[in-house]
Amino acid sequence: MEVHPAVVGLLLLSCFATASYAHNVHLSTLNVSLIVTASATTGQVLKAGVDNLTITWAFNPNLRLSDSNYTTVEAKLCYGPVSQTGRDDRKTDDNLDFDETCPIDITDAPYKRSNNTYTWAIPKNTTSATYFVRVYVVKANKHETAYGQTTDANKTTNLFQIDGIVSEQKESAAWPVIGNSFGYGYAWLLMLILIL
Ligand SMILES: *[C@@H]1O[C@H](CO)[C@@H](O)[C@H](O)[C@H]1NC(C)=O
Ligand SMILES: *[C@@H]1O[C@H](CO)[C@@H](O)[C@H](O)[C@H]1NC(C)=O
Ligand SMILES: *[C@@H]1O[C@H](CO)[C@@H](O)[C@H](O)[C@H]1NC(C)=O
Ligand SMILES: *[C@@H]1O[C@H](CO)[C@@H](O)[C@H](O)[C@H]1NC(C)=O
Ligand SMILES: *[C@@H]1O[C@H](CO)[C@@H](O)[C@H](O)[C@H]1NC(C)=O
Ligand SMILES: *[C@@H]1O[C@H](CO)[C@@H](O)[C@H](O)[C@H]1NC(C)=O
């Protein structure tokens, strides 16, 4: 029996996909049950390595949802649409296994219904870009089950900027591949250390 190479490739690909991406959770199916705020005002420019970002989150009781299965939360820093343009490595995908919107972890914490505050010292190596904050709720099985974010559904409001030593232009122009995989920040830090 002859098997077309494309079929083999597809089979291999689907095995790989099942093995490494088993969660298959879609953002659009999650309950938007958290109210999330960040201390940054619209358009504010925060300095990486200098400024702090204070975030708060709480369950929204008005939605009459159950939070009985909520175990932990993950707060993340996410790219605003303007910083995703032309960047496939930052693309938004409803399937969270493939979503690249929120690559930076701010903090993880046990789920608590209210009174959650976290002050994040913005790391020096944070890339210059426009951002918002999203907090995911995770169940015991490690699957996301709900979330909340500081911007609206279309990601147009309450966006802020972070000014880092890793400039967006330099990163994409000079280091299209290496910059993305290793973090251009390391190169800068190394250079600084060598100079000093
Ligand atoms: C950020 O927080 C740290 C630790 O609380 C504090 O020392 C520092 O002054 C804060 N930075 C700014 C710019 O407020
Ligand atoms: C959303 O909340 C409802 C009511 O609590 C619940 O039945 C449903 O399973 C939740 N959806 C997800 C994805 O957790
Ligand atoms: C919580 O998890 C249990 C067990 O998986 C499930 O039966 C129940 O429907 C879940 N409750 C909610 C509100 O999602
Ligand atoms: C919120 O947390 C602060 C600091 O941990 C505590 O002093 C305060 O009592 C808490 N408030 C509520 C309503 O739980
Ligand atoms: C910044 O550095 C930390 C620790 O070295 C690393 O875990 C993190 O991924 C880096 N962040 C970026 C955006 O490169
Ligand atoms: C988001 O944008 C779409 C299309 O531009 C619009 O139909 C929808 O009302 C917007 N939703 C919100 C929450 O602003």
Which pLDDT score, from 0 to 100, does residue 193 have? 54
Residue 82: both structure tokens together: 């303007």
Q: What is the CATH number of the domain that holds 148?
A: 2.60.40.10
Mean pLDDT along residues 100-124: 97
Rg (CA), the chain: 19
Report how far apart, in Å, the C-alpha atoms of 171 and of each of 48, 95, 159, 161, 184 are. Answer: 16, 27, 22, 17, 6
Which pLDDT score, from 0 to 100, does residue 65 have? 96
Evaluate if residue 181 carries a pLDDT over 50: no
**11 belongs to a structural domain:** no
Which pLDDT score, from 0 to 100, does residue 179 have? 41
Evaluate if residue 117 carries a pLDDT over 60: yes
How many other CB atoms are there within 10 angstroms of residue 167's CB atom?
Answer: 16
**190 belongs to a structural domain:** no
Give the separation between CA 196 and CA 193, rounded to whole angstroms. Answer: 5
**136 belongs to a structural domain:** yes
What total number of domains does the chain contain?
1
Q: What is the b/e burial string over 56-73, where b = at least 16 CB atoms within 10 angstroms of the residue's CB? A: bbbbbeeeeeebeebeeb
Residues forming a β-bridge with 163: 47
Which pLDDT score, from 0 to 100, does residue 192 have? 53
Which residues form the domain of 73? Answer: 25-168
Which pLDDT score, from 0 to 100, does residue 15 have? 40
51 within ligand 1 shell (Cβ under 6 A): yes
**38 belongs to a structural domain:** yes
138 Cβ partners below 8 Å, 6+ apart?
70, 71, 72, 73, 74, 144, 145
Query: To the nearest whole number, what is the mean pLDDT of the chain?
Result: 83
Give the percent of the chain with pLDDT over 90.
71
**191 belongs to a structural domain:** no
Residues forming a β-bridge with 127: 166
**98 belongs to a structural domain:** yes
Which pLDDT score, from 0 to 100, does residue 106 have? 98
User: Cβ < 6 Å from ligand 5: which residues?
Assistant: 104, 123, 125-127, 183, 185
Evaluate if residue 54 carries a pLDDT over 90: yes
**84 belongs to a structural domain:** yes
Give the separation between CA 130 and CA 76, rounded to whole angstroms. Answer: 14
Cα 6 to averaged position of ligand 4 atoms, centre (Å)? 59
Give the separation between CA 146 and CA 163, rounded to whole angstroms. Answer: 30
Q: Please choose, from the candidates 94, 73, 77, the residue with its C-alpha nearest in 3D space to the C-alpha of residue 138.
A: 73
The values of phi and psi at residue 114, to 5°, are -145, 175
pLDDT range class, residue 12, cuts 50, 70, 90: very low
**63 belongs to a structural domain:** yes
Which of 27, 59, 60, 66 has most ligand 2 atoms within 8 Å of its beta carbon, as the pocket-test mutant? 66
Evaluate if residue 156 carries a pLDDT over 50: yes
Give the separation between CA 110 and CA 176, rounded to whole angstroms. Answer: 38
Residues forming a β-bridge with 118: 55
Which pLDDT score, from 0 to 100, does residue 180 have? 43
Higher pLDDT, 173 or 61: 61
Give the percent of the chain with pLDDT over 70.
73
Which pLDDT score, from 0 to 100, does residue 166 have? 60
